[in-house]
Structure 1
Amino acid sequence: MTDFDEQMIPSKTARKREMDALQAVGKRLVELGDADLARIPINDEDLTEAIATAKRIKSREGLRRQMQYIGKLMRQVDTAAIEAALQELDLGQKALARRFHELEGLRDDMLSSELQAGVELAMQRFADADRQRLRQLLVQAAKERSNSKPPAAARKLFRYLRELQELANEDAAS
């Protein structure tokens, strides 16, 4: 064997690192919900069946062995499309979380400002919002806060803002 041949063969550590990475991708696939898993392009029936089996296994040792088997199957599959789909899924979840936090911030700003200013904050963001409903929710939230009651109106306000955002997203998509 020449020096050139030795350089072409990956080291045992590199191979193990690659196998661990594939097993980690397999673990992510097993942890996905059925709806998210359906969006991942898995072209190997054995791998699909192994993932379904792993979801049913309760034994820790059995699950460990099944994950190793999934890692072995992953070595025979082109994982580029799977990894790209997982990354796209992560980006979608991050965008959802970001929109959720933006709505929480808007609600908190509305609750901490004067009544009319709070309504105007929502109207600037959502032109289709019902001014009267916003005003009622803000008044109820202020009463609840002054009477030290649970923030039911603040939760209703958040749900209404989320509905408005979903409508705005649908309008933008069409």
Structure 2
Amino acid sequence: MTDFDQFENEEDIPKSKTQIKREVEALQDLGKTLLGLSKNQLKKVTMSDTLREAFAEADRIKQREAMRRHLQYIGKIMRTEDHETISQQVALFDTTSAAYNKLFHQLEHKRDALIGENSKEELSKYLDEHPNLEEIQLLRQLIRQSQKEVENGNKSNTNRKKLFKLIREIEETKLGLRG
């Protein structure tokens, strides 16, 4: 009989010091990543006021050792936060992440579907998915103008880019990444 046979679930097994240290370092790394975000992006991330104040304080710290200690403090605060949600939100800002690329491709597909042959059906579905959408008139206008660009073989994709930007703003608002 081993020491681990006394535990019914895997979750009951106590963590080793190494595992705890890895988790703490991962939270500190997430804190470093958050520090690298712009102020605008940082505002969009869901976090407590305590953590938000810690990031505001970090802007004033210039000394290397003081910053290292402050990152440890941020890591300590992060233990009480929903760090999985924070990680997911940060991944949507990182252009090299799989989450960002997946969202980008979904938005491109949605734009192309709205411009395509079944645009009325797609628009109807899109409006059902977003019942509180205020920019319906602008959305319809950009769809019509984008369809004209495609029909005329116009090489300037100005309206398609504007449509993509609008769809992205709508989705980011839906995901809570915009204020």
Query: Aligning the two structures, in what range does the TM-score lie when normalised by the shorter sequence?
Result: 0.5 to 0.7
After TM superposition, list the pairs within 5 Å mapping 1:33-72 onto structure 2.
33-43=38-48, 45-72=49-76
Structure ranking higher on relative contact order (CA contacts 8 Å, 6+ apart):
2
Q: 1:168 & 1:73 partners in 2: Cα distance?
A: 40
Measured in 2, the distance between the counterparts of 1:77 and 1:21 equals 13
What is residue 20 of structure 1 aligned with on the other side? 25
Per-residue displacement from partner, 1:110-167 (whole Å, max 9, x unpaired)? xxxxxxxxxxxxxxxx6655x9x97xxxxxxxxxxxxxxxxxxxxxxxxx65x44422
SS at match of 1:9: coil
Matched, 1:11 2:16: yes
Paired residue for 1:145? none
Q: Secondary structure at the match of 2:82?
A: coil
SS in 1 for 2:65: helix
Separation of aligned partners in 2, 1:47 and 1:171:
31
Identity of aligned residues (%): 35
Report the Cα offset of residue 92 of structure 1.
4.0
Alignment of 1:79 with 2:74, yes or no, is: no
Deviation at 1:23, TM superposition (A): 0.4
- 1:34-88: CA deviations, max 9, x gaps? 1101110002x22111111112211111111110110111112221221121122
Q: Distance in 2 between matches of 1:74 and 1:57?
A: 19
The runs of at least 4 aligned residues of structure 1 exceeding 6 Å deviation read none
Higher normalized helix content (fraction of residues): 1
**Counterparts of residues 21-170 of structure 1 (less than 5 Å):** 21-43=26-48, 45-90=49-94, 91-92=99-100, 95=104, 128=148, 161=157, 163-169=158-164, 170=166
Aligned residues: 118
CA pair 60-75 structure 1, distance change in 2 beyond 3 A? same
Matched residue type, 2:74: I
The 2-side partners of 1:10 and 1:165 are apart by 52
Instruction: Please report the TM-score for the alignment, with normalisation by the length of structure 2.
Output: 0.53
Q: In structure 2, give the amino acid aligned to 1:167.
A: K
Query: SS of 1:32's equivalent?
Result: coil
CA deviations over 1:8-43 (Å, ceiling 9, x no partner): 211111000000000011111111111101110002
Counterparts of 2:40 and 2:92 in 1: how far apart (Å)? 14
Asked whether the 8 Å contact 1:42–1:48 carries over to 2, the reply is yes
Unaligned runs of 5+ in 2: 109-145, 171-179
- How many angstroms apart in 2 are the aligned matches of 1:63 and 1:93? 32
